Amino acid sequence: MTASDVFTIEPWGLRESALELEHLARTESLFALSNGHVGVRGNLEEGEPSGLPGTYLNGVYERRPLPYAEAGYGFPEDGQTAINVTDGKIMRLLVDDEPFDVRYGELHAHERRIDFREGVLQREVEWTSPAGQQVLIRSWRLVSLTQRSVVALCLEVEVVGEEARVVVQSELVADEDLPVRGGDPRVAAALKEPLVHETGHAKGTGATLVHQTRASQLRIAAAMDHETECPQDVNIGTELNDNWARITFSTKLRAGETLRVVKYVTYGWSQQRTVPALRDQVAAAMAAARDSGWQGLVDEQRDYLRWFWERSDVEVDGDAELQQAVRFAMFHVLQAGARAEGRSIPAKGLTGPGYDGHCFWDTETFVLPVLTHTVPKAAADVLRWRHSTLPIARERAHQLGLEGAAFPWRTINGAECSAYWPAGTAAFHVNADIADALVRHLQATGDETLERDIGVELLIETARLWRSLGHHDRSGAFHIVGVTGPDEYSAIADDNVFTNLMARRNLRAAAEMVARHPRLAGSFDADHEEAAAWRDAAEAIVIPWDDELGVHPQSAAFTVYERWDFAATPDEAHPLFLHYPYFDLYRKQVVKQADLVLAIQRCGDAFTPEEKRRDFDYYEAITVRDSSLSACSQAVVAAEVGHLGLAYDYACEAAFMDLHDLGGNTADGLHMASLAGAWVALVEGLGGMRDEQRLKFTPQLPDGLDRLAFGLVRGDALLRVEVFPDRTRYQLVAGDHPVDLCHHGQDVRLSPGETVECSQERPPVVERPSQPPGREPIGRHSVTRRLS
Amino acid sequence: MTASDVFTIEPWGLRESALELEHLARTESLFALSNGHVGVRGNLEEGEPSGLPGTYLNGVYERRPLPYAEAGYGFPEDGQTAINVTDGKIMRLLVDDEPFDVRYGELHAHERRIDFREGVLQREVEWTSPAGQQVLIRSWRLVSLTQRSVVALCLEVEVVGEEARVVVQSELVADEDLPVRGGDPRVAAALKEPLVHETGHAKGTGATLVHQTRASQLRIAAAMDHETECPQDVNIGTELNDNWARITFSTKLRAGETLRVVKYVTYGWSQQRTVPALRDQVAAAMAAARDSGWQGLVDEQRDYLRWFWERSDVEVDGDAELQQAVRFAMFHVLQAGARAEGRSIPAKGLTGPGYDGHCFWDTETFVLPVLTHTVPKAAADVLRWRHSTLPIARERAHQLGLEGAAFPWRTINGAECSAYWPAGTAAFHVNADIADALVRHLQATGDETLERDIGVELLIETARLWRSLGHHDRSGAFHIVGVTGPDEYSAIADDNVFTNLMARRNLRAAAEMVARHPRLAGSFDADHEEAAAWRDAAEAIVIPWDDELGVHPQSAAFTVYERWDFAATPDEAHPLFLHYPYFDLYRKQVVKQADLVLAIQRCGDAFTPEEKRRDFDYYEAITVRDSSLSACSQAVVAAEVGHLGLAYDYACEAAFMDLHDLGGNTADGLHMASLAGAWVALVEGLGGMRDEQRLKFTPQLPDGLDRLAFGLVRGDALLRVEVFPDRTRYQLVAGDHPVDLCHHGQDVRLSPGETVECSQERPPVVERPSQPPGREPIGRHSVTRRLS
């Protein structure tokens, strides 16, 4: 049975009509709730069975050793791993002494669903205990988007048959047992029971636990409190231990009677604040939550989401499955970023332990373009977080013998955690990715405060990195050698086109900042001389070109390399890095993920239309997409060069990544960049949106889609774009000033409230390029093929 | 105080006139004895104080985990570390209950010396115990070059003052406590007490211990037996434990009386043989040793060394220090290889635990040329060992997706132990180095048995590796990309000149083998078609050339890279890899060790004289010699292009590497490749010897040297070459056939017993090239500068 068999296709929600125990970890990720500050996986309230219990606080990690058989100068010694914090989801149920466990007794019906307009995970269960007592169980759960410390649950138990004793044990549990992950016993040891008890108290229906992480010394407080509704008296018991607290509700219900327990959980953590301060913090959050009450929290949640969807909804007419998937995707991107506030957005959001909870370049490159155009404040918060790590990045640059700042390849707190140097240390493009996300955000929002607060300094420090990393050769050409580009099947390459083009943008943007803010730049010791050196380097940067083939080598000499023997590579040998040595992947023409194609997407002005077409076709034939960070970029460029059907297929692949578990690892958490990529593929791809000095669109619908509509925030303007096969309608939904945009090269001015309709022609049909055998996109009609 | 202050300069020996406790580990290496099968460090007989106790059996290692923070496909999981086996050197002495310990009482005199013609380490001590009892202690020690399992010691104690009770405790000790090395606690744990007791027995003056290594399951037996001479009765006690056995000799001596204890120790080890078999093996070796007796062993040792020096001695007139150093070097190279017989020659020989006791490319590239021309049987044994690891190398090649055999970067038993992929997996040149050493050996010896036994198969399998590793580009040029050449400050480079030229030799040699031995080649499935493909690849191989600079880039694009900022690099920042990140070293023009210059040395026919001159000067300016594998190659090419003074300086640096501890790590063991390099620098450098189809010489003496003489074995011929400033004398000392050679381009035929004298002109004086600041060679007059 595949995941899709129990999931229904519906426009606004995700509904699972039966519980599949073998896919529990996967569905826990799909049903994860988060607000960017707190995240809880979709674990069953009763705690067991579970795939992977998970409650995460953004920024909370444990330190662990990074072992090396042969260490080297500058290799990071400590890693960071996001940990499962105190679990407040658990509400066990006993019916006449029989614990409710779906694996025992008889499960008549089990449904979980979430409506993306409401943000509440609901569950309905009909169950007969082994002793024959039948009950209806309903639960609701939310992680508040308006009160960022608050998780709230509501559990209702209705007795169907004879009178029964019903007991609900609601808990806080620290240091839960987790399945062992990874192979290194030292790492496993460092991460076993990372929480050390500090204090706890319990009284009546409430309890609080305060712990500290063993090595990283972060303090975490969790509190719970409850409200009950019941036609019968409810006895309440209170227990407290170092690592768990339990409030027990016990009653006797007759047929048709219901016990309802509402549980509020509040979280707080800090590196600096004391035990009393944190204890009081969660108590204050609890007071606010109880003040709102369950219904109040539910209402606030709905209001917040209404606000979000009104500005941001993407409508896809003609493909119900893609419609569902893109809303699922946007809902999770929102959940990951809404309230991150001063913290990163990890690659998996707060939905699972994958990638140790680290933040990569994914965040700025794939997630931020979506947030910048939908919830710009959330995007600004991420950029402010990056800026807050500048001291660590400066120190890292110094350690590497470079100027300016070197942001980490993977991190939680800003320190480099990558232990694999070719892909880690040498993947300097992350710095340009951050700078570019900032520049695009400033362009889209006109946020001058952000520009002054962080923009000037961040661009100056990253430009300094590039200037010191690169060098001029004898002829004056500026090279950046020995770096790893986006494609992780190449490493230690020279003059990677993506890296060089992005560095050029970075250098130029920094020079512009110095011109715009000379005094502020001066406070960072940057002057016009330094800016001139950046401009010179940008001007002289080398972009390799293979004249014979008429394509760009992804990096110098790349097109001279041997082509990977795709014909001899069996389907099951993907991802390749699990079946072939890196050294071999590195020295052959095989591309894990869009690299040159990403350069076309992000730095389109550096390519002629003909170059884009030829480059796209060339790389299409050698790109295996062993990364989830590829399909959306391929969709965007496919659409640009006229392969609309292919763009549509790639958009589907990006959107279905987790719903269909295309990577086979959704259990570890959702792929935020791929989910964001669904939006990118539709808005930048089929919508042809480019946000440069002004907004440009080249919308085109592939066969099979009747209409594509999306909202865009730009400055104080809110646009709505509706694409039909032959025309596009632009509406300025909100905003006081006219907006100039461009439709297929035609200038359009939108006045406030105005709607303008522009026509477009179908592009000429071009021959669809081929992919390596077996690596065709998981198109809209073939998704079941890859399901495990 | 520096090491040199207590060492005298003498032509045939090494003599230390006082004990320096702070340099104990270093002198233990210098005074190490070995025959290539068993090695014992120069630890004091009384066991304490010690720098680093060490007794090694070639091939005996313990398995240990290789930890990775981020592992990858094909990364080796297990490492191997040579271990300190059962220590048979210990002979403690008590004088009237006072243990003899140089740190207590009064040490009037302490001398250690070894004569390279005798191969016996001697020690003389005058000591007064804390209680005032004076004794003379003399010891002799040898590791037999004729009986490879045998270590023999002789201890004499003479009472000077009043009558005293003298006790000698002679021991076998397994699992000695060692200073902790390396940072990883898991590795340290795996290597702590690696020996597990199996059996032991003791009776009379003898004892035997049999142990097995915990993880690698190698069985080791050690036996000891004794003879005493004494004017008084000697009481003998015998004790046995799991991890130690002790024979105690106790007597009372009057002034002038001497107790003499001779100790024979024999070793055996096996992966397969049983406890009784090994026990009997060491007993048999013991019987043979006792049969020879102490004096017999001493005589055999002298005879063996006389044979060696008669054929191989290198005489340097005019530089007494270099004369001593080159004999020290040759003595240790002989010790490392003489009786290795089916095992490797590790980078440190059997003189210390450095590099985990691993064998690298050093052996074939630097050590074998010496042995091939002095003790060819020892060279053949090493090549046979490599060949014996072909099954493992084939498996490794298969794992890496390659054809043929991929020999390991570092190993003890043939399995890859390198955990650092860019320098490890990608350093494929080791395969061509092995093939080249084999081809040169066959050429020099005409050993047709070896050619048929191992040559054909080994060359075929390595050629297959190169053919599958490289590829033809669109124009038909054959590239080998993504490899690491000899220079470890570059990695993952394309078309490394050394690698490509050596691969070319390998491919051609293999093709020639198929032509010479079609039937034998057929048994390895090699035919003329395959050989033709090898020849084609060899013909088409790319040798990068920088037309603008008129030099060879070490690898493609190398000369475009930024030059390392040598001016800003302080002296104390060497070796650079301990102070700068690898990624930065990799992408700049800075060379750790001869790479292009090694290509000139080994594949001189691929370069014109003008190219050699220009290339040498270019690389001289960017080579920092942070490796001991560089000076000798720089000496050879310096001499060839006319920089005789520089060649002389580099020859001294190679020769003084350990005597002056230039690398600061002689404590961990001697640098076999650098010691061999002393011979190479003099014979190939100043002597200009090239052994190709026939022997060629271009001898030249630098100012300061009056005469250089050396012996060379070639086939059944033994040559003696004497170079004077204006002429060279060639003598065919042994051999039944005339030998054709070439002196400075002039053909010379030497008949048996004949001496021919040829004149040579002083080469024109050329400007000495410069090295990076502070990285000038440690010349003959500046060695004290670097001593710690």
Best to test chain A binding among B564, B583, B590 (most A CBs inside 10 Å): B583
A69 alpha-carbon distance from chain centroid: 33
Which tens digit of pLDDT belongs to each residue from B715-774?
999 999 999 999 999 999 999 999 999 999 999 999 998 999 999 998 888 899 999 999
pLDDT, tens only, B575-613: 999 999 988 999 999 999 999 999 999 999 999 999 999
Closest CB to B580 among A73, A482, A483: A73
| Mean confidence (pLDDT) of chain B | 95
Structure token digits, residue A140: 């609701």
How many angstroms separate the CA atoms of B490 and A678, rounded? 41
The catalytically annotated residue of B488, B620, B640, B684 is B488
Reported as half-sphere exposure (CB side, CA atoms, 13 A), residue B771 has a value of 20
pLDDT tens digits, B235-244: 999 999 999 9
Q: How far apart are CA B396 and CA B322, in angstroms?
A: 43
pLDDT at residue B778 in the model = 81
Which letter, b or e, does each residue of B74-105 get, where b requires 16 or more Cβ atoms within 10 Å of its Cβ? bbbeebbbbbbbbbbbbbbbbbbebbbbbeeb
Asked if A576 contacts A626 with a C-beta cutoff of 8 angstroms, the reply is yes
Residue B788 has pLDDT above 60, yes or no: no
How far is residue B504's CA from residue B466's CA, in Å, rounded to a whole number?
9
How much is the pLDDT for B287? 97
Q: Mean pLDDT in chain A?
A: 95
Lowest-confidence region among A527-536, B174-183, B299-308, B455-464? B174-183
The pLDDT of residue B584: 92
Model confidence at B524: pLDDT above 50: yes
CA distance B276 to B429: 43
What is the total residue count of chain B?
788
Q: Are B729 and B756 in contact (CB under 8 A)?
A: yes
Q: Residue for token digits 């004793």? A: A165
The verdict on B471 touching A (C-beta cutoff 8 Å) is yes
The residue from A488, A530, A653, A722 that is catalytic is A488
Kind and range of the H or E run holding A645:
helix A644-656
The residue whose two tokens read 């008084």 is B232
Does B69 contact chain A (CB < 8 Å)? yes
Interface check for A485 against chain B (CB to CB < 8 A): the answer is no
The model's pTM is: 0.93
pLDDT at A210 exceeding the cut of 70: yes
Distance CA A456, CA A534 (A): 14
B565 in contact with chain A, both atoms CB, cutoff 8 A:
no
Cβ contact (<8 Å) for A400 and B494? no
> What is the mean predicted confidence (pLDDT) over B364-386?
98
**pLDDT over threshold 50, residue A1:** no
pLDDT exceeds 80 at position B187: no
Least confident of B64-78, B284-298, B520-534, B735-749: B64-78
Which of A68, A492, A584 shows the shortest C-beta gap to B586?
A: A492
- Is A722 tagged catalytic? no
CB A226 within 8 A of CB A264: yes
Cα A359 to Cα A56, A416, A430, A662, A721: the distances in Å are 14, 11, 11, 21, 32
Structure tokens at A202: 């319990």
pLDDT tens, position by position, A395-423: 999 999 999 999 999 999 999 998 876 56
Q: Closest Cα partner for B674 from B687, B688, B660?
A: B660
Nearest CA in chain A to B579: A73
More confident residue, A349 or A693: A349
Number of other residues whose CB lies within 10 A of the CB of residue A97: 11
Mean pLDDT computed over B137-144: 98
State mean pLDDT over B474-497: 95
**Residues 389 through 408 of chain B touching chain A, CB cutoff 8 Å:** 399-401
Encode pLDDT of A538-567 as tens digits. Answer: 999 999 999 999 999 999 999 999 999 999
Written as six digits, the tokens of B211 are 């142990």
Size of interface A-B (CB pairs under 8 A): 150
How much is the pLDDT for A181?
66
How far apart are the C-alpha atoms of B429 and B480, rounded to whole Å?
Answer: 11
Residue A49: cis peptide before it, omega within 30 degrees of 0: yes
Q: Which one of B478, B587, B588 makes the best mutation probe of the A interface by having the most chain A beta carbons within 10 Å?
A: B587
Is residue A44 pLDDT above 70, yes or no?
Answer: yes
- For chain A, state the CA radius of gyration: 27
B185 — pLDDT class (breaks 50, 70, 90) = low
Confidence of residue A70 (pLDDT cuts 50, 70, 90): confident
| pLDDT score of A75 more than 90 | no
Residue B452 is predicted with a pLDDT of 98
pLDDT value for A787: 34
The three-state secondary structure class of A579 is: coil
Whether the pLDDT of residue B186 is over 70: the answer is no
pLDDT of residue A3: 47
Q: Is B557 on the interface with A (CB under 8 A)?
A: yes
| CB contact (8 A) between residue B185 and residue A183 | no
pLDDT at B787 over 70: no
Q: Does A427 touch chain B (CB under 8 A)?
A: no
**Beta carbons of A678 and A632 less than 8 angstroms apart:** yes
Give bridge partners of residue B195 from the DSSP assignment.
B213
CA–CA separation, B210 and B268 (whole Å): 9
Average pLDDT in the A624-642 region? Answer: 97
CA distance B671 to B663: 9
pLDDT in tens, A221-272: 999 999 999 999 999 999 999 999 999 999 999 999 999 999 999 999 999 9
On the question of pLDDT at A784 being above 50, the answer is: no
A476–chain B Cβ distance below 8 A for any pair: no
Pairwise CA distance, residues A329 & A583, whole Å = 35
Q: pLDDT of B76-133, one tens digit each?
A: 888 999 999 999 999 999 999 899 999 999 999 999 999 999 999 999 999 999 999 9
Residues 311-370 of B with CB under 8 A from A: none
Q: What is the pLDDT of residues A656-673, one digit of tens each?
A: 999 999 999 999 999 999
pLDDT for residue A782 is more than 80: no
Checking if the pLDDT of B422 tops 80, the result is: no
The mean pLDDT of B26-50, rounded to a whole number, is 97
Q: Which of these ranges, A200-209, A455-464, B284-293, B574-583, has the smallest mean pLDDT?
A: B574-583
Query: pLDDT of A604-618, one tens digit each?
Result: 999 999 999 999 999
pLDDT tens sequence across A438-487: 999 999 999 999 999 999 999 999 999 999 999 999 999 999 999 999 99
